[in-house]
Amino acid sequence: MTPRFRNVRRIGPVQVATFLARGRNRHLAACTAPRCDFSAEYDSRPAAELAARTHRCKA
């Protein structure tokens, strides 16, 4: 089943979202810039937002 993202927020080119995985809330930060492959999952929302704020695109 595809995760349903909620509480989606954009910080620069990075989107941060919350989703439910195996009964636990997980948080995702993913860059939407072309040719940038950054994406990561985190246990806490502040960690995902910090990653989004400090991300620098290689592209």
pLDDT per residue over 13-47, tens digit each?
Answer: 999 999 998 889 999 999 999 999 899 999 999 99
28 in Cβ contact with 17 (< 8 Å): yes
- Does the reported pTM lie above 0.95? no
From CA 52, how far away is CA 48, in angstroms rounded? 6
